[in-house]
């Protein structure tokens, strides 16, 4: 009987389960490390905003970047609003920039911090129209906080809070309030 030669198909096939096990273990280790990395969260948000730098036209719908639970709330709000012929929270503009019209996004400040394993907050200030802007042009300035969650091997936005201009609302809270209203509309 002939022994396996290291380059023979039999040897390769017999080694495959062990090699796959090692690859799966390594991917789990690197996935966890990646989730705790602020740079990877920032890279995700950089990719989100890169999509908005083309004269206000972007490749993905704003819901593309959301966690499944936040996307489900958006869908539920849209469906509830349509049933009563009302405008949903998400139907009045773009969720990512909390805006209706823009030329693009020009970032002036940004920061990222890990709040827990697999959770981060990204805060940014940006303008919706190309500079120079008048100093009192508060209508085009935004300061936003994005709550990020690392799930399914990637970062996603789990909530968006508008810090400036006021009132400082949270998308998730606004959606829940809207859904409650649609369930019991005031006369």
Q: What Cα–Cα distance (Å) separates residue 107 from each residue in 35, 97, 130, 143, 159?
A: 24, 11, 10, 10, 20
In percent, the amount of the chain with pLDDT more than 90 equals 42
- Provide φ and ψ at 57, rounded to 5°: -100, 130
pTM of the model: 0.75
**What is the token pair recorded at 154?**
């990637």
When mean pLDDT is compared over 8-17, 102-111, 150-159, the highest value belongs to 150-159
Q: For residue 55, is pLDDT > 80?
A: no
Q: Which of 33, 68, 66, 74 is nearest to 156 (CA)?
A: 66
- Provide φ and ψ at 128, rounded to 5°: -95, -10
**Contact partners, residue 107, CB within 8 Å, separation at least 6:** 49, 124, 125, 126
pLDDT tens string 88-111: 988 878 888 888 777 778 888 999
pLDDT tens string 19-33: 433 333 334 444 444
Q: For residue 17, is pLDDT > 80?
A: no
| Distance (Å, whole) CA 165 – CA 60 | 25
| Distance (Å, whole) CA 45 – CA 35 | 14
- State the pLDDT at residue 33: 45
Q: For residue 178, is pLDDT > 60?
A: yes
| Distance (Å, whole) CA 164 – CA 120 | 20
pLDDT tens string 65-83: 999 999 999 999 999 999 9
Considering the chain, what is the average pLDDT of its residues?
A: 78
| Distance (Å, whole) CA 49 – CA 152 | 21
- State the pLDDT at residue 141: 84
**What is the token pair recorded at 111?**
């920061």
- State the pLDDT at residue 176: 95
Q: Which of 138, 142, 136 is nearest to 169 (CA)?
A: 142
How many C-beta atoms surround the C-beta of residue 136 within 10 A? 6
């Amino acid at each position: 009987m002939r022994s396996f030669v290291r380059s023979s198909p039999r040897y390769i096939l017999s080694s495959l389960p062990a090699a796959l096990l090692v690859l799966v273990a390594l991917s789990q280790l690197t996935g966890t490390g990646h989730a705790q990395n602020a740079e990877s969260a920032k890279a995700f948000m950089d990719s989100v905003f890169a999509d908005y730098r083309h004269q206000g036209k972007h490749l993905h719908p704003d819901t593309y970047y959301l966690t499944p639970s936040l996307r489900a709330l958006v869908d539920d709000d849209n469906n509830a609003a349509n049933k009563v012929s009302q405008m949903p929270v998400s139907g009045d503009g773009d969720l990512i920039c909390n805006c209706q019209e823009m030329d693009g996004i020009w970032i002036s400040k940004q920061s990222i911090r890990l709040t827990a394993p697999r959770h981060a907050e990204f805060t940014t200030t940006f303008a919706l129209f190309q500079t120079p802007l008048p100093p009192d042009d508060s209508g085009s300035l935004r300061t936003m906080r994005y709550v990020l969650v690392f799930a399914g091997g990637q970062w996603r936005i789990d909530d968006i809070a508008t810090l400036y201009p006021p009132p400082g609302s949270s998308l998730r809270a606004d959606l829940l309030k809207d859904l409650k209203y649609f369930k019991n509309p005031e006369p």
